[in-house]
Amino acid sequence: MRYLPLLLLVLPAAAAPKAEEIVRGEIGAKLDGYVKGLDLCGSVLVAKKGEILLNKGYGVMDEKGTPMRADAMWDWASASKQFTAAAILKLEMMKKLSLDDSIRKHWKDAPKDKQPVTIRHLLNHTSGIRQDEGQGVDHRNRDAVVRHFLSLPVSWEPGSKWEYSNLSYWVLGALIEKLSGDSFEKFCIEKLFRPAGMEDACFIGWKDLDLARVPKDKRGKGVHFAYGYEMSWGYRASGGAVVPLEEMLVWDRALRGDKILSKRAKDRMYEVGQNDYACGWFVDKSMGGTIYRHSGRVGETSTAYLRWIDEDIVVALARSEISKEHPDETAKALAAMVRNTK
């Protein structure tokens, strides 16, 4: 993904007290041993029925060798798309849009070939508009990014084919701003994160983000954020949510109730399109029951978030490296260990 960062000098805040690590009982010890065997540099949380079994940091946060914090703040990369989708569903609850709206309803100057393209198509990566990084487009300029998207041809019938598209999510972020009158970040924080009970969750560049809790990638030898300390429309809404692992569990609990999204909104969010993809989530039946999951990668950071609905198991992990094993596979292995333990 091409991105033109704003180069700012950002000094880390004074470190807050380190959160207590949790390794609960025999299953917690078993999970901990498994993670140690992976030589993972990062953070891992595993919970069942809302109870944390493991919440621990592994490796180091920086070149000084600072031990990884259990409450480290991670850029969730593409796993952030679930928050963008939830924000769109929140706007639908507010009667600001419908998932079935043509994008021409909200951008009147869009070419006629965009009439069949709906908001739902953007959410589930089936718009028919090819993934495009917008080379030569000023990614700091929201309207320039949207104009570029609208200028691209519709290459196949919307809804008929799946192609992963960060660009579609940049446009969804722009739509959230257009209809809410707030910045994308402010809307998500005020309408989703804080009502859910996520006290620290924010985005890259947010004024209250504590950089002392943000690990550097490349196992502590790299940078805090691959694209710099300010969000750009070459990343915004497709990544950039910065959340500690324990608050990903808080998010799961909020989604199990109706405080953030209504039952209807959640049903629409989880409705599967092509390639087992819904709105910001993969819907996975491979282990029995229903798993909602998403992973992400940015720079040398990789993440995975898994919610096994039937078993009420949550796994959240982030690592400051790219490993041979896909983070989804690590998350599934941890979830299976919990399921198979009495």
Question: Would you state the pLDDT for residue 133?
Answer: 81
Mean pLDDT of the region 277-283: 98
Whether residue 212 is predicted with pLDDT greater than 60 in this model: the reply is yes
Read off the amino acid at residue 234: G
Sequence-distant (≥ 6) Cβ neighbours of residue 306 within 8 angstroms: 291, 292, 293, 313, 314, 315, 316, 328, 331, 332, 335
Comparing 6 with 20, the larger pLDDT belongs to 20
Q: Tell me whether strands 301-308 and 42-48 are parallel, antiparallel or unpaired.
A: unpaired
* CATH number assigned to the domain comprising residue 188: 3.40.710.10
Closest CA to 169 of 237, 267, 104: 237
Long-range Cβ contact pairs of 34-40 (< 8 A, separation 24 or more): 34/333, 34/334, 34/337, 35/334, 38/323, 38/325, 38/330, 40/317, 40/319, 40/323, 40/330
- Return phi, psi of residue 55, to 5°: -150, 105
Q: Tell me whether strands 282-284 and 291-298 are parallel, antiparallel or unpaired.
A: antiparallel
Mean pLDDT of the region 185-212: 97
Whether residue 2 is predicted with pLDDT greater than 60 in this model: the reply is no
Closest CA to 185 of 167, 210, 205: 205
Taking the whole predicted model, whether its pTM rises above 0.95 is answered as no
Strand partners, 313: 48, 308
The percent of the chain in helix, strand and coil, each rounded to the nearest 5, is 35, 15, 50
How many structural domains compose the chain? 1
DSSP code string of 151-178: HS---S-TTS-----HHHHHHHHHHHHH
- Go through 71-92 and write b for each residue having 16 or more CB atoms within 10 A of its CB, e for each that does not: bbbbbbbbbbbbbbbbbbbbbb
Strand partners, 166: none
Rg of the chain over CA atoms, in angstroms? Answer: 19
Give start and end residues of each alpha helix (H) in the chain.
25-37, 81-93, 103-106, 119-123, 142-151, 166-180, 184-188, 194-196, 245-256, 263-269, 327-339
Comparing 100 with 14, the larger pLDDT belongs to 100
> For residue range 78-90, what is the model confidence (pLDDT) as tens digits?
999 999 999 999 9
Distances (CA, A) of 197 to 108, 240, 254: 38, 19, 8
Mean pLDDT of the region 174-192: 98
Pairwise CA distance, residues 182 & 299, whole Å: 29
For residue 287, what are the domain limits? Answer: 1-342
Pairwise CA distance, residues 185 & 177, whole Å: 9
Mean pLDDT of the region 316-322: 96
Pairwise CA distance, residues 152 & 129, whole Å: 7
Copy the structure tokens of residue 245: 């692992």
pLDDT band at 342 (very low <50, low <70, confident <90, very high): low
> For residue range 142-175, what is the model confidence (pLDDT) as tens digits?
999 999 999 999 999 999 999 999 999 999 999 9
Pairwise CA distance, residues 322 & 301, whole Å: 6
DSSP letter at 9 equals -
pLDDT band at 136 (very low <50, low <70, confident <90, very high): confident
Whether residue 3 is predicted with pLDDT greater than 60 in this model: the reply is no
Question: Would you state the pLDDT for residue 18?
Answer: 60
Whether residue 7 is predicted with pLDDT greater than 80 in this model: the reply is no
> For residue range 40-54, what is the model confidence (pLDDT) as tens digits?
999 999 999 999 999
Distances (CA, A) of 279 to 102, 263, 299: 16, 15, 24
Please state which of the ranges 126-130, 295-299, 305-309, 321-325 shows the lowest mean pLDDT.
321-325
Pairwise CA distance, residues 301 & 340, whole Å: 29
| Mean pLDDT for the chain overall | 93
